[in-house]
C-alpha cells in the first residue's frame, strides 16, 4: 500500500514508518556532529521515549557523546486492521535498530507508564538485563488521562484558564485555517485533575519505586520538562491549568532533589522552548505565538527543535559542567533562554499583533509549523520515497 498523510483537526491519523526512520536518522546526524555531552550518563530510563522531547533526549543521550544504553517506556499502537499504527511505534523500532547497530541497548516497553505492572516489568528488566543501576531517569510523559493508582478511576486534564476565559486564534492543521476559540475557566476539580495528570505525582512515584528497588546508582540524576513562556501566553498557559500542573512539577523537583541527595543524586526540572509536538498542538490560542516565535528565532539564527534543545540541555546544563548544574533562582534549568531573550520577545509581540486568520500563513512561520507536524508523523521528509509501496506484512513483523 501507499501511505498518505491523514490529519483530523490537529491529530494525525496515519504515520509513515520509513519517514519516521528518516527523522530518527536526521536527529542522530545532528547530535553526532553537535557539541558532545561530556561526562554523561551510561544507563538511562526514559518515560515518554517515543516522541517529542523524550525521543530527542534518548537520541541525544545515545548518539550525542554519552553512548548511553536506554530503556524507553511509551504508549503507542502497532499495525492492525485498524491502520498502520502510530509514529511513536515506529520511532521506538527504528531507534532500537540504530542503537543496536552501534552496540547500544535500546530496550522498549510499550504500555501504560502509570500502571504498577509497567513499573515492575521495567525494574525486573533493569535488574536482570540492564546492569542493575540507572544513572539518569528522564520523565517526559505528556497525556490527557491518568488512572488513580488507588481506585483505577481516570483523572482527565483540561487545558483551561483560571480566572477569566480567553479567546484567541487557534490553528486547524487539517484545513490550514485559523479559528477563534474560547478557552473557558476551569473548576477547582478540573485544576486538581490536571495537576494529577501533568503535575509531579507520578514522577515522584516512579523515583520512589525505583529507589526502593535499589536500581538508582550513586549520583543518579532525574529530570522532567516544563514550560513557562512569556507574559503574553501566561493567561493560557502559565496561569492556567497546565501552569498549575507545572508549578506542582517544579515543587516535586525540589522534593526529589532532597531525596536523591541521600544517594549523592540530583533532581531537576528543565524549562524548554515552545515547540510543535503531538501534545502541544492541542493548546488552544497558543499557535499564533508559536508562528511568530519560529519566524523571529529563525531570522535570528536561534531556532531550535526538540533535538537541538535536548543536546544543549545535556551537553551544557545537566552534564559537562565544572561545578554545578546552572539553574535560576527557582532552581530551574532554563533552555528556554533563547526564546525568552528580550529582543526576540519584543519582535514576537510586534509580529503577533499583526497575525490574522487571513494572513497567518505568510506573516507567521506556518510553513515550519506544518512541516514540523507532518515530520512528527513521518511525512514531508527529504530522502523518503513516498510513492513506494509499503508492505503491511513486513511492518507487522517489526517488533518494538
Contact residues toward Na ion (CB under 5 A) are 48, 52-54, 140
190 carries a ligand binding annotation: no
Under 8 Å between Cβ of 302 and 308: no
Q: Which does 170 bind (CB under 5 to 8 A by kind): ligand NAI, Na ion, none?
A: none
Q: Does 225 bind ligand NAI (CB under 6 A)?
A: yes
Q: Does 227 bind ligand NAI (CB under 6 A)?
A: yes
Active-site annotation holds for 237:
yes
Question: Nearest to residue 60, comparing CAs of 105, 107, 24?
Answer: 24
SS (H, E, C) the chain: CCCCCCEECCEECCCCHHHHHHHHHHHHHHHHHCCCCCCCCCEEEEECCCCHHHHHHHHHHHHCCCCCEEEEEECCCCCECCECCCHHHHHHHHHHHHHHHCCCCEEEEECCCCCHHHHHHHHHHHHHHCCCCEEEEEECCCCCEEECCCCCCEEECCCCECCCCEEEEEEECCCCEEEEEEECECCHHHHHHHHHHHCCHHHHHHHHHHHHCCCEEEEEEEEEEECCCCHHHCCCCCCCHHHHHHHHHHHHHHHHHHHHHCCCCEEEEEECCCCCCCCHHHCCCCHHHHHHHHHHHHHCCCCCCHHHHHHHHHHHHHCCCCCCCCCCCCCCEECCCCCCCHHHHHHHHHHHHHCCCCCHHHHCCHHHHHHHHHHHCCCCCCCCCCCCCCCHHHHHHCCC
Name the catalytic one among 237, 289, 366, 369: 237
227 carries a ligand binding annotation: yes
365 carries a ligand binding annotation: no
Nearest position to ligand NAI, beta carbon = 52
In the complex, the smallest distance separating the C-beta of residue 42 from ligand NAI, rounded to whole angstroms, is 22
Nearest position to Na ion, beta carbon = 54
Which of the ranges 98-106, 187-195, 209-217, 219-227 carries the binding residues for ligand NAI, by CB under 6 A? 219-227
Site string (260-289) toward ligand NAI, x via CB under 6 A = ------------x-xx-xxxx---------
Strand order in the sheet with 266-271: 106-110, 69-74, 43-47, 134-139, 216-226, 266-271, 333-334
75 carries a ligand binding annotation: yes
Among 66, 140, 287, 311, binds ligand NAI (CB under 6 A): 140
Q: Which does 73 bind (CB under 5 to 8 A by kind): Na ion, ligand NAI, none?
A: ligand NAI
Q: Does 24 bind ligand NAI (CB under 6 A)?
A: no
Among 112, 174, 304, 341, binds ligand NAI (CB under 6 A): 112
Which three three-digit cell numbers place residue 29?
A: 546526524
| Residue closer to ligand NAI (CB basis): 74 or 311 | 74
Which of the ranges 107-115, 313-321, 360-368, 377-385 carries the binding residues for ligand NAI, by CB under 6 A? 107-115
332 carries a ligand binding annotation: no
| Residue closer to ligand NAI (CB basis): 73 or 136 | 73
Number of amino acids touching ligand NAI (CB under 6 A): 29
Site string (61-80) toward ligand NAI, x via CB under 6 A = ------------xxxx----
Among 57, 226, 311, 375, binds ligand NAI (CB under 6 A): 226
Q: Which does 277 bind (CB under 5 to 8 A by kind): Na ion, ligand NAI, none?
A: ligand NAI
CA distances to 7, 97, 276, 319 from 374, in Å: 9, 23, 10, 32
In the complex, the smallest distance separating the C-beta of residue 309 from ligand NAI, rounded to whole angstroms, is 9
Q: Does 365 bind ligand NAI (CB under 6 A)?
A: no
Which of the ranges 24-32, 47-55, 179-187, 316-324 carries the binding residues for ligand NAI, by CB under 6 A? 47-55
261 carries a ligand binding annotation: no
In the complex, the smallest distance separating the C-beta of residue 76 from Na ion, rounded to whole angstroms, is 12
Q: What is the CA radius of gyration of the chain?
A: 20
Q: How far apart are CA 47 and CA 137, in angstroms?
A: 8
| Residue closer to ligand NAI (CB basis): 113 or 178 | 113
| Residue that has been written with the C-alpha cell 483505577 in this structure | 152
Annotated binding site for substrate: 227
Annotated binding site for NAD(+): 48-53, 75-76, 112-113, 141-142, 246, 275-277
Which residues have a catalytic role annotated?
237
Which residue ranges make up the site for ligand NAI (CB under 6 A)?
Answer: 48-54, 73-76, 88, 112-114, 140-143, 225-227, 272, 274-275, 277-280
Amino acid at each position: 500500500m501507499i501511505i498518505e498523510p491523514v490529519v483530523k483537526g490537529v491529530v494525525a491519523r496515519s504515520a509513515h514508518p520509513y519517514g519516521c526512520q528518516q527523522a530518527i536518522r536526521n536527529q542522530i546526524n545532528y547530535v553526532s556532529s553537535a557539541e558532545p555531552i561530556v561526562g554523561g550518563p551510561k544507563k538511562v530510563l526514559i518515560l515518554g521515549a517515543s516522541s517529542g522531547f523524550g525521543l530527542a533526549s534518548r537520541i541525544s543521550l545515545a548518539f550525542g557523546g554519552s553512548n548511553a544504553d536506554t530503556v524507553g517506556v511509551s504508549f503507542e499502537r502497532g499495525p492492525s486492521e485498524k491502520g498502520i499504527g502510530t509514529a511513536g511505534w515506529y520511532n521506538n523500532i527504528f531507534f532500537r535498530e540504530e542503537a543496536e547497530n552501534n552496540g547500544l541497548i535500546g530496550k522498549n516497553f510499550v504500555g501504560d507508564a502509570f500502571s504498577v505492572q509497567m513499573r515492575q516489568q521495567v525494574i525486573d528488566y533493569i535488574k536482570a538485563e540492564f546492569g542493575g543501576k540507572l544513572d539518569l531517569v528522564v520523565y517526559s510523559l505528556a497525556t490527557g488521562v491518568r488512572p488513580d493508582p488507588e481506585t483505577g478511576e481516570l483523572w482527565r486534564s483540561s487545558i483551561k484558564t483560571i480566572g477569566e476565559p480567553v479567546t484567541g486564534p487557534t490553528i486547524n492543521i487539517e484545513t490550514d485555517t485559523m479559528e477563534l476559540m474560547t478557552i473557558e475557566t476551569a473548576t477547582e476539580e478540573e485544576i486538581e485533575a490536571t495537576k494529577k495528570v501533568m503535575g509531579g505525582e507520578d514522577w515522584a512515584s516512579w523515583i520512589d519505586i525505583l529507589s526502593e528497588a535499589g536500581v538508582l546508582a550513586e549520583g543518579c540524576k532525574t529530570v522532567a520538562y516544563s514550560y513557562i513562556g512569556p507574559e503574553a501566553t501566561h493567561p493560557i498557559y502559565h496561569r492556567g491549568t497546565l501552569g498549575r500542573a507545572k508549578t506542582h512539577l517544579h515543587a516535586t523537583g525540589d522534593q526529589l532533589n532532597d531525596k536523591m541527595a541521600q544517594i549523592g543524586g540530583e533532581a531537576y526540572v528543565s524549562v524548554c522552548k515552545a515547540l510543535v509536538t503531538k501534545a502541544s498542538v492541542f493548546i488552544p490560542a497558543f499557535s499564533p505565538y508559536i508562528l511568530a516565535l519560529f519566524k523571529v528565532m529563525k531570522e535570528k539564527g536561534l531556532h531550535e527543535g526538540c533535538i537541538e534543545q535536548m543536546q544543549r540541555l545535556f551537553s551544557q546544563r545537566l552534564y559537562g559542567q565544572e561545578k554545578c548544574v546552572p539553574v535560576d533562582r527557582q532552581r530551574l534549568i532554563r533552555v528556554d533562554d533563547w526564546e525568552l531573550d528580550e529582543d526576540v520577545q519584543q519582535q514576537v509581540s510586534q509580529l503577533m499583533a499583526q497575525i490574522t486568520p487571513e494572513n497567518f500563513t505568510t506573516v507567521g512561520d506556518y510553513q515550519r509549523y506544518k512541516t514540523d507536524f507532518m515530520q512528527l508523523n513521518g511525512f514531508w521528509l527529504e530522502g523518503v520515497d513516498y510513492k513506494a509501496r509499503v508492505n503491511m506484512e513486513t511492518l507487522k513483523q517489526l517488533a518494538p
